[in-house]
C-alpha cells in the first residue's frame, strides 16, 4: 500500500467511523440511563437520512431546514420508543404520535405540491398509510387496557428487533428499495489532502460528530439534567430518593438518542447514500463500538467508533488474506464476534440485571 492509499483509507475510515461513533453514542446514552439496548438505533439513523432526502426532493427547500426536520422526526420516534418500552400503557398515545410525526411530513409535502400542481394520486398515497396507522392505533388503544407485565431482557430484545424491522419495512414501503442520495450540503469538488481526497460532506460528518460529542460531554458534566441522568445510571433508587424522576430521565435519554441518530443520518446520506436496509449494518457496527466499552461510557464509545471505522477501512484496504473479495464483510463480522467472545468475562461484569 502506498502512502497515498494509506491516507485515503484513513480518511475513509475516519469518515465512516464518525457515523459509527454517533450510533454508539446513541446506544450508550440509552443503555446508561435505562439498561435497554435499543436494537433500532441504526434504523433511527437510516430514517434520518431517508427523511432528509424526501424533504429535500419533494419540497425544494434549502438543506439546513431539512436537517432540522429529520432531527425532529428521529427524536419524536425516540419518544415513541421510550413510551413503548418504558410505559406500555401509554402505547396508544405513542402510536398516535408516530402517526402524526410520520404523517405530518407527507402532509406538508402535499400542501406544497397542491399549491404547485394538484396531484391526486400523491395525496391518496400519503393519506392512506396515515389513516391505516391511525386505525391500528385505535385498535391498540382498545387492547391497551390489558396491562403489559414487567418486561424481561428477552422480551425487550424481541421488542426492539420488532421496532427495527418495523422501521425498515416502513422505509422500504414508503421510499422504495433503491438507495437515495440527497444533494451535498456544501460544494461538489473534493479537497486534496496529503495525496488523498476528502469529500466535502466528510468534513461535515466528522465535524458534526466532534461537536455532538463535546456537547454531550458538557451536557453530562455541567448541567443539572445531565448530572441527573448520570445519577440514574448509577442507581435509579438513590436517584429517586433525591427527587429525580427516573421515567423523565429515560424519556430524555431516548429523545437524545433519537436526535443524535437523526443528525447522523442526515449528515451521512449525501456522502454514503442511504437505502432502507442500511440501518441494520449501521446498528451492528454501533452496537459493537458501544459494547467494547461496556455500553456505559458515551465518550469512550465515540473513540471506539472512530477506531472501528479506521480498522474496517484499513483491513479492506490491505486487501490481504481473508480480507479481500466478497467475504470482507463476513470477515470483519467474525472479527467482531471473536473480540466479543474474548472480552466476554469483562462484558459479563458490565451487564446489570434489568
Q: Which residues bind another protein (CB under 8 A)?
A: 37, 39, 84, 88, 91, 136, 140-146, 148-149, 151-155, 157-159, 161-170, 172-173, 177, 280, 284, 287-288, 291, 325-327, 329-330, 333-334, 336-337, 340-341, 344-345, 347-348, 351
Q: Which is nearer to another protein, 190 or 344 (CB)?
A: 344
| Beta strand extents in 63-195 (DSSP E only) | 191-193
Q: Which is nearer to another protein, 79 or 231 (CB)?
A: 79
Q: Which is nearer to another protein, 72 or 284 (CB)?
A: 284
Do 273 and 218 contact (CB within 8 A), yes or no? Answer: no
Q: Which is nearer to another protein, 89 or 218 (CB)?
A: 89
If you ran DSSP here, which 8-state letter would residue 186 be given? S
Q: Which is nearer to another protein, 2 or 345 (CB)?
A: 345
Q: Which is nearer to another protein, 137 or 196 (CB)?
A: 137
Q: What's the closest the beta carbon of residue 58 comes to another protein, in angstroms?
A: 19
CA triple 313-317-322, angle to 5 deg: 100
Q: Which is nearer to another protein, 162 or 183 (CB)?
A: 162
Q: What's the closest the beta carbon of residue 336 comes to another protein, in angstroms?
A: 6
Q: What's the closest the beta carbon of residue 291 comes to another protein, in angstroms?
A: 7
Number of C-beta neighbours around residue 125 at 10 A: 13
Among 71, 41, 47, 38, which residue's Cα sits nearest to residue 171? 47
Q: What's the closest the beta carbon of residue 152 comes to another protein, in angstroms?
A: 8
Joined together, the cell numbers standing for residue 292 give 467494547
Q: What's the closest the beta carbon of residue 30 comes to another protein, in angstroms?
A: 12
Q: Which is nearer to another protein, 164 or 206 (CB)?
A: 164
Q: What's the closest the beta carbon of residue 112 comes to another protein, in angstroms?
A: 25
Q: What are phi and psi of 186, to 5 degrees?
A: -135, 140
Do 265 and 26 contact (CB within 8 A), yes or no? Answer: no
Q: What's the closest the beta carbon of residue 166 comes to another protein, in angstroms?
A: 3
- The Cα 26–Cα 236 span in angstroms is 20
Secondary structure (3-state) at 191: strand
Q: What's the closest the beta carbon of residue 34 comes to another protein, in angstroms?
A: 13
Report H helices in 235-297: 236-241, 246-272, 278-292
Q: What's the closest the beta carbon of residue 43 comes to another protein, in angstroms?
A: 10
Q: What are phi and psi of 60, to 5 degrees?
A: 55, 40
Do 254 and 81 contact (CB within 8 A), yes or no? Answer: yes
Q: Measured between alpha carbons, how far is residue 79 from residues 82, 91, 136, 250 in Å?
A: 5, 11, 19, 9
- The Cα 189–Cα 46 span in angstroms is 25
- The Cα 61–Cα 211 span in angstroms is 25
Q: Which is nearer to another protein, 211 or 334 (CB)?
A: 334
Joined together, the cell numbers standing for residue 242 give 433525591
Among 184, 61, 72, 53, which residue's Cα sits nearest to residue 111? 61
Amino acid at each position: 500500500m502506498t502512502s497515498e492509499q494509506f491516507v485515503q483509507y484513513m480518511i475513509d475510515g475516519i469518515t465512516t467511523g464518525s457515523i459509527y461513533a454517533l450510533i454508539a453514542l446513541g446506544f450508550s446514552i440509552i443503555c446508561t440511563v435505562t439498561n435497554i439496548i435499543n436494537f433500532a438505533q441504526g434504523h433511527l439513523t437510516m430514517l434520518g437520512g431517508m427523511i432528509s432526502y424526501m424533504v429535500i426532493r419533494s419540497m425544494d427547500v434549502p438543506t439546513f431546514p431539512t436537517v432540522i426536520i429529520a432531527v425532529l422526526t428521529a427524536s419524536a420516534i425516540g419518544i415513541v420508543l421510550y413510551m413503548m418500552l418504558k410505559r406500555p400503557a401509554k402505547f396508544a398515545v405513542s402510536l398516535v404520535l408516530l402517526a402524526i410525526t410520520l404523517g405530518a411530513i407527507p402532509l406538508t409535502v402535499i400542501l406544497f405540491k397542491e399549491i404547485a400542481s394538484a396531484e391526486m394520486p400523491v395525496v391518496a398515497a400519503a393519506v392512506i398509510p396515515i389513516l391505516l396507522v391511525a386505525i391500528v392505533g385505535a385498535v391498540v388503544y382498545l387492547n391497551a387496557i390489558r396491562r403489559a407485565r414487567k418486561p424481561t431482557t428477552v422480551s425487550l430484545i424481541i421488542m426492539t428487533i420488532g421496532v427495527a424491522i418495523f422501521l425498515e419495512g416502513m422505509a422500504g414501503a414508503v421510499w422504495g428499495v433503491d438507495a437515495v442520495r440527497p444533494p451535498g450540503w456544501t460544494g461538489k469538488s473534493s479537497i486534496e489532502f496529503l495525496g488523498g481526497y476528502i469529500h466535502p460532506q466528510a468534513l461535515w460528518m466528522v465535524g458534526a460528530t466532534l461537536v455532538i460529542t463535546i456537547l454531550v460531554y458538557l451536557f453530562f458534566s455541567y448541567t443539572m439534567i445531565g448530572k441527573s441522568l448520570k445519577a440514574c445510571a448509577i442507581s435509579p433508587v438513590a436517584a429517586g430518593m433525591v427527587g429525580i424522576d427516573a421515567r423523565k430521565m429515560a424519556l430524555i435519554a431516548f429523545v437524545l438518542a433519537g436526535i443524535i441518530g437523526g443528525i447522523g443520518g442526515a449528515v451521512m446520506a449525501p456522502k454514503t447514500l442511504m437505502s432502507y436496509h442500511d440501518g441494520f449494518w449501521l446498528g451492528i457496527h454501533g452496537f459493537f463500538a458501544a459494547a467494547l466499552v461496556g455500553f456505559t461510557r458515551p465518550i469512550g464509545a465515540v473513540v471506539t467508533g472512530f477506531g472501528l471505522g479506521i480498522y474496517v477501512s484499513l483491513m479492506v484496504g490491505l486487501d490481504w488474506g481473508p480480507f479481500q473479495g466478497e467475504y470482507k464483510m463476513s470477515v470483519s463480522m467474525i472479527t467482531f464476534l471473536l473480540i466479543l467472545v474474548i472480552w466476554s468475562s469483562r462484558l459479563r461484569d458490565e451487564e446489570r440485571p434489568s
